[in-house]
Amino acid sequence: MKKISKIIAIFLCIIMTGALFTGCSKKEKQQINFFNYGENIDDETLKEFEEKYDIKVNMETFDDMEAMYQKIKSGAGKYDVVLVSDALMPRMIKEGLVQELNKDNIPNISQMDEQYLDLDIDPGNKYSVPYMFGTVGIVYNKDVVKEEVDSWDILWDEEYKDQVFMFDTYRDTIGAALKKLGYSLNSTDPDEIEEAKELLIEQRKTVNPIYGVDNGTTMIPAGETNINMIWSGEGLNLQEEYPNLVYVVPKEGANFWIDSLCITSNAQNVEGAEKFINFVSDKESALRIADEIGYTTPNKEARKEQPEDVQNNPNAYMPEEIMNRCEIYKDFDLKTKQMYDDAWTEIKVNGEE
């Protein structure tokens, strides 16, 4: 009897020990969920982070900041790290959608150029770490456009009818018209917005621009257009690849934008999120990411390692006199948004008549 009991006891011990080791072997790998604006990171950086920290990065992308905001606000998606635009930053902070950072755990923020820190969108960078920045400008084909382009005026030149590409986004396109007129691209003045609207309706009738977004980057090297509105990353990449293309920030000023990394208020892995933000904010990662996606980096240490023609390009890293004429988009109230929406509807409808 004692022998049977002893055998049973040994058997149960084996089962319990096996269960213990099985439980250990099935321990879930740590992970973070990253909500990114497009493919704005390189695969090598993600791979190195995962190998260094043994944390899997689940990246989901979005192509519209407002859609990102609505998804975060509704709780439809659970994310740890999110890329947030300058215009949305104050709103997301105010609504408690992102959490205050423990910067002791993100020491690489010290590598950021002070020019891109402590902006009005997040004083003291309590909630965000700069990730990339750029402008909206013009890329043109100098083989066709013989004059030097330095102004938004070129987009209204009838000599280039059917050769101009405009963004099919109301803030960028109405913003360009406002800047051409000498106004702020954040204007809330009904008369100024009306004037910009009429200018764009006139342009559609006399220049017949092509409206689109990403397709502009393939149209100009193919010769389908010769003067394009474009984001600086794509513009600078095209300039590097095609000797006949030139990217410029117009003298009247343009939209300067900065995208930043934040940790959501309901993040499941705050520690992992901090490690990730710190890792991509390091010089080596920032340099590789900037080289991969073409946008300029706020990391001053990484900039020093870039080729001289990049770090000294005034249309990439703008001098103070150009920077002072550029503006970050502000988040409008509902009344102002409606005013812009109404103007945009008229521009699109009247331009097609």
CATH code, domain carrying 109: 3.40.190.10
Identify the three-state secondary structure at position 206.
Answer: helix
Question: For each of the chain's 353 residues, which pLDDT tens digit applies?
Answer: 444 444 444 444 444 444 444 444 445 789 999 999 988 899 999 999 999 999 999 999 998 898 999 999 998 889 999 999 999 999 999 999 999 999 999 999 999 999 899 999 999 999 999 999 999 999 999 999 999 999 999 999 999 999 999 999 999 999 999 999 999 999 999 999 999 999 999 999 999 999 998 888 999 999 999 999 999 888 988 998 999 999 999 999 999 999 999 999 999 999 999 999 999 999 999 999 998 887 889 999 999 999 888 888 888 888 888 888 899 999 899 999 999 999 999 999 986 65
Placement of tokens 């408690």 in the chain: 96
Residues 237 and 276 in one domain: no
Prediction pTM value: 0.82
Task: In the chain, count H helices and then E strands.
Answer: 14, 9
CB 156 within 8 A of CB 179: no
Question: So what's the pLDDT on residue 20?
Answer: 44
Question: So what's the pLDDT on residue 351?
Answer: 60
Residues 261 and 251 in one domain: no
Question: So what's the pLDDT on residue 24?
Answer: 43
Q: What DSSP string runs through 152-194?
A: GGGGG-GGGTT-EEEES-HHHHHHHHHHHTT--TT---HHHHH
Question: So what's the pLDDT on residue 213?
Answer: 83
Q: Is 18 part of a structural domain of the chain?
A: no
Question: So what's the pLDDT on residue 352?
Answer: 61
Question: So what's the pLDDT on residue 291?
Answer: 86
Placement of tokens 């960028």 in the chain: 172
Question: So what's the pLDDT on residue 27?
Answer: 58
Q: What is the pLDDT of residues 19-45, one digit of tens each?
A: 444 444 445 789 999 999 988 899 999
Residues 342 and 221 in one domain: yes
Question: So what's the pLDDT on residue 295?
Answer: 81
Residues 207 and 336 in one domain: yes
Range of the domain at 149: 134-255+327-351
Number of domains observed in the structure of the chain: 2
Residues 36 and 140 in one domain: no
Question: So what's the pLDDT on residue 76?
Answer: 85
For 227-249, the three-class secondary structure string (H helix, E strand, C coil) is: EEEEEHHHHHHHHHHCCCEEEEC
Residues 236 and 343 in one domain: yes
Cα–Cα dist 14/201, whole Å: 81
Cα–Cα dist 61/201, whole Å: 34
Cα–Cα dist 265/83, whole Å: 14
Q: Is 220 part of a structural domain of the chain?
A: yes
Question: So what's the pLDDT on residue 324?
Answer: 86
Residues 338 and 228 in one domain: yes
How many CA atoms lie within 13 Å of 85's alpha carbon, on the beta-carbon side?
A: 21
Residues 117 and 44 in one domain: yes
CB 173 within 8 A of CB 167: yes
Residues 6 or more apart whose Cβ sits within 8 Å of residue 118:
124, 125
